[in-house]
Structure 1
């Protein structure tokens, strides 16, 4: 039966969502036709697990979502439901490097994977491309898409703007790789740090890329090295074409640490990231790059309104509470602590009132304006 109507919604750059009602087939055809025009910066991507659903990447950072009204409900399930090693074991064995790169944007709820199945195996990094535009505000819209379809890596990177984001800690698994039968490929090694780079495999993003001018890129590579990932490509350079992407040796993946392309891993059928320059990725650890031209952000960026709800556990909440106390707005009997509580909400309400907010603008839930003024230290 053909689809006759679609639910339409907008996911905004701050991860809030606006439902727009239903649209008919003519509207959907117009949307698809518009995206094919060279003069329009909108790009369509089909939902990989829900037939008939699709997304439109917008250059303003928002993501348009279309879902058939008769489509079965799609929920994001972790494809690796129960870790074989406990989180404490994983963090003990994999905790040599940082969980977060300093100054990154944090997307989603920071809960995407789990502990490694084989923490005794060498650490590795996996490079993907999003097969999308780079630059502009696509950083946000692509992040929204990856969350929506449940295919988040740990890291997303834009080589044009040098923007760096994380969907979860480097010390836990991503879910951008497909399982190889019963083998949970995402959970191989001491760490398996996956990076989605905005760009296309057919046009390698390293062309014209200068790491000396990209401080966030250098911080990412430094974090990988801190986890013990060696500056080698065990399967060689990633292939330059889809037809050449045939070498996916299981024995090397299981036994060798280093850098891999999505195209080089057991159980996969993609050919990204294309022929990226392995002299740049990861480059040489002995080189002396120019110092960053801009300082790392000193304060936590606003994590989004949906971040603040009952049950949230984060060091960001502790840092926020300490700032509220320093501003004379604390309503804590003990703490502050990492769990979002009524005391946090009351303390934040006092902060909003101190700034002159009233009514619904002083409800105790952080908004971007009041958050930026609070200047919560980067954790």
Structure 2
């Protein structure tokens, strides 16, 4: 009984605090519209709502290159290994990874090592951006150098002592450099503004192999510069550019090879014994590509299963 009595008391409506005058005030103001935020607060709210509609925080954009560029800018910025201050750039500097690193692998190194660069070109020639082009990357070991140069890292094909860089990697690095000279720096590449890392500090980077190729790298950068200065903006290609004949060797692993594998099958040139490990170059790729070359009318040494630029372009391997 005692418990029920207390329960009934709990159910009785309680008198509002403040008396009848306060009750009347509440009734008068019950439907009043909330105060509208003004000025800076309203602007901040609108920006926040815009980010929410877009699915999250704004993402720093990569360069408007005519080929895909993987975006690691905000992830690199989160490491703190970059100085967010802009400078006028007057040169491009090429480096080597000192390893066979993927784009993510490069970022992983820079998460713990206080270093960075603006771009990386991987073993297949694909480009990634880590730092905005006009900002100060921690790249060359020289203050003025970091202020004035745009740094491009290149994946190695072999390790010490040669530190070789594959043809697709250095050619696509030179092409990117040509674009940067045309669109950012505004000068044609020359021996006075296209450098290797050892120009700025005491290091062997970009390695002895790249030292022997400097003239070819410069010529490729100049060719790209002339192309980009003369051409109007072009539509981004949806097919993979020819990575060079040296790219295709036994054991080479790349998503480009997997994409080629599927195109050969689609073209009726399937001489594979298995479709496992489609991203690794092997005997099945040689036989199937030779069938594709034969289908195009090539014979003899021209149909030996090693891709050439003309047959590759006709295969139309999609971008990966």
Q: Which structure has more helix as a fraction of its residues?
A: 2
TM-score range, shorter chain: 0.3 to 0.5
Larger Rg: 2
TM-score by length of 1: 0.34
